[in-house]
Amino acid sequence: MHEFIVFTIGGLAASGIYAITASGLTLTYATTGIFNWAHGAIGMVCAFAYWQMSIGWGWPTLLSILVCLVVLAPAIGIVIEAAVMRRLEGVSEASKLVVTLSVALMLLGVAQWIWNPTTYRALPPLFNNDTLVLGSIRISYNDVTVLILALVVAIGLRLFLYRTRMGVTMRASVDDRTLTSLNGSSAITNARNAWIIGSMLAALAGILVAPTLTLSAPALTLLIVNAYAAAVIGRLRSIPMTFVGAIILGLSIAYAVAYLPQSPYVDGFENAVPAIILFIALLVLPQSRLRGHRQLRSRELAIRPTWSGTGLFCAGAIVAAVFLATTVSKSDLFSLNRMWGLAIVGLSVIPIVGYAGRLSLCQMTFAGIGATMVGHLGARGNPLSLLAAAGVCAVAGVIVALPALRLSGIYFALATAAFAITMDNWVFVLPSFNLFGHPYAPFGSGSLAFAPFRIGSLALTSNRSQFIAGSVAFVILVVVVVALRRSAFGQRLLAMKDSPAACATLGMNGRASLIGVFAFSAALAGVGGGIYGMALGSAAPDVFQFFNGLSVLLVMVIMGITSFGAAGSNGLYQGSPFFTNFVPSLTQLPLVLVGLGGIAVGTTPNGTIPGSIRPVYLSVVRRRWLMALILAGVGLAWALRLSGAIGNWTMTIIMVLDLALFPVPAYVADYRAKIAPTAFGLPERRSKQNAYARSAEAASAESPVGSGDRLAAQSRTGGTRGA
């Protein structure tokens, strides 16, 4: 009984931390309509700042806490609201989620940049481990303080939101900003106040939890993931139920640590308890319509690719692979060899996120599952292990999709995040166990080795052969995705993304389509994981962790979530040794750049490639003589490099001038002539046909029947050429 009371008290103390964290998350969503994935990152930055002030600079503890809570946290909230969130008015739910994810990754990168992650840091308890003695039970003053603060926060927020004018107007502005403004309330002021209070609660949670663990930026950032379960139990709107959820979460973790048997098979289970509770809460609790947005006409479009354009893209990808394989040094080619696996993982994001509109955060987890299949079944270099990886990942995708069918928007993203974190913390680190009578350990003794593929008598033992083979696998899968997009199934996915109500009215089977596209995307990710593992030679579970998957998703969204070029850009950005070679000391720079790029998603929802790069090169395609000249320049630079007449730097300068600068004058000339291609390949020339198309589009925008309704109707007859 004594042991039970001790663990109960410890669980209640942890519940206080989760309650404060989840309350801030619930407050931000209930008053702004934005689910703040960066909440934990804000608390992490404030916790490190508190360490810097109190330990690094020797400031008094109370002064350090006050500066963090009253100065730093509100400043972070004001900057995020003014510079980032204010531009998200009218964008889709997925774009809002991606932007807050970008803020989280940017803050994570900045924190690791300022505070070296290899340096050990720890904070002493606030009360120096002083305890309150009640009989045979000793209770830390820190635990008592946390519980009291959690109760004060819960009661205070409840009274604030429902008993004060400011709280009521903050909640009302989510439902109807215009009506709230007519009653004399500023929507901007309400949002700013919500972000200030939410940031202060995040900072308070970070400071309170920091003494209980070694200061680690990823661990503190992921604290919010643990608190997701409490917020979901409160259905992102009820502070009292959020507090109850925090108690359930804290006690469950404490009892799991205390009473689960000591076994290597359950050692990581307690770390996965928050994610498991989150998944259960998502499935058990009744789902209400998410508040905070109205149905808006989406600015995100998916261009219908042509076979000729696809063929040109695939040929260009293979030629580029041969070009790099014959010019890059052996050491750089070894690092660059990872790009095709990452590119295929990025390609797997296009069907589920770009076409189906479901934000999946576990694509890198499926890549990890595929890598384990290839590592075990392809020990002798059998390329058929890639098919096994695709099959197993497709089944895993169906298993994840089946219970998540009733979820959408935030809830679907949270479900996939819970699956990814459970795999990271528990399944991937399991020791060997029997699977269908055979011993199986996901990552062996900690690292899984991969053998080069063998195709008949041909063994892909060199980096050059592996690199070219990876490009071939990538373009084959691009063709498969193009076939999906051009099929009736692909049109149904776009219709359901744009107007689920219209599709349901027409009798479409949305559940079957969702299961199918999730299984397809998981299979693609599994193949990408297998190729990625082969390029690495050996891989540990942290290669496929949750945060790496977020980077893939963000790069895809920045470059264009429906663009095949975005998948190649993802592989090149994350697999290239560029940052390692030129800025080796700035190891966090790629993460910060991804975060900064993702913040701009609200203003460029279609991505960089469709919105900026593609229109420029469409002007080149209209001038075949210019296209031939540019290709001739590339060929000449390549030939000179192979002959040894010039070096890599000279060749790079020629390539930049040829590919990046020459197309610009053609686009400027078309723009001045009012025939410049738009992001979707349509000229701006003022003709009767285009004027009629523009007037029809304007009429449809004002009509209650949107593009999704038309697409849904046309998808049954095959009468549309694309979105």
Could you report the per-residue pLDDT of 278-289, keeping only the tens digit for each?
888 888 866 544
Q: What are phi and psi of 677, to 5 degrees?
A: -65, 145
Distance between CA atoms of 499 and 515, rounded to whole angstroms?
18
- Exposure string of 35-48, with b = 16+ CB inside 10 Å and e = fewer, is bbbbbbbbbbbbbb
pLDDT at 684 over 70: no
pLDDT digits (tens, 9 = 90+) for 461-507: 888 999 999 999 999 999 999 999 999 898 888 888 877 777 777 77
Q: What does the pLDDT read at residue 462?
A: 87
Confidence of residue 702 (pLDDT cuts 50, 70, 90): very low
CA-wise closest residue to 292 among 179, 186, 175: 175
Average pLDDT over residues 557-567: 89
Q: Does residue 695 register a pLDDT over 50?
A: no
Place of tokens 């990152």: 41
686 CB contacts (<8 Å, ≥6 apart)? 674
Residue 350 banded pLDDT, cuts 50, 70, 90: very high
What pLDDT sits at residue 175? 63
Residue 314: the pLDDT is: 94
Confidence of residue 201 (pLDDT cuts 50, 70, 90): very high
pLDDT, position 498: 77
**618 or 78, which is more confident?**
78
Using CA atoms, how far apart are residues 126 and 166, in angstroms rounded to an integer? 33
Higher-pLDDT residue of 404, 310: 310
Residue-level pLDDT at 91: 66
E strands, 441-508, are 448-449, 454-455, 458-459
| DSSP assignment string, 346-362 | HHHHIIIIIIT----S-
Q: Which domains does the chain have, with CATH numbers?
A: 2-284 (1.10.3470), 307-604 (no CATH), 621-717 (no CATH)
Phi, psi for residue 458 in degrees, rounded to 5: -90, 120
Burial class (CB in 10 A: 0-12, 13-18, 19+), 55: middle
**Number of C-beta neighbours around residue 184 at 10 A:** 7
Cα–Cα distance for residue pair 513/532, rounded to 1 Å: 28
Computed over every residue of the chain, the mean pLDDT equals 82
**How far is the C-alpha of 394 from the C-alpha of 230, rounded, in Å?**
31
pLDDT at 377 over 60: yes
Residue with tokens 């803050």: 107
Q: How many CB atoms lie within 10 A of CB 195?
A: 29
Q: Any idea which of 94-103, 356-365, 494-503 has the lowest mean pLDDT? A: 494-503
pLDDT for the residue 98? 82
Residue 721 has pLDDT above 50, yes or no: no
Is residue 700 predicted with pLDDT exceeding 90? Answer: no
pLDDT bracket for residue 585 (50, 70, 90): low
- pLDDT digits 0-9 by tens, 540-550: 988 998 888 88
| Residue 549 CA from chain centroid, whole number | 6
Residue 589 has pLDDT above 90, yes or no: no
The residue ranking higher by pLDDT, 399 or 710, is: 399
- Per-residue pLDDT at 293: 40
Candidates 404, 333, 368; CA nearest to 548 is 368
- Closest to 201 in 3D by CA, of 9, 445, 16: 16
**Upper half-sphere CA count for residue 375 (Cβ side, 13 Å):** 27
Q: Name which residue leads in pLDDT, 671 or 196.
A: 196
Q: Is 30 exposed, middle or buried (0-12, 13-18, 19+ CB in 10 A)?
A: buried
What is the average pLDDT across 426-433?
Answer: 85
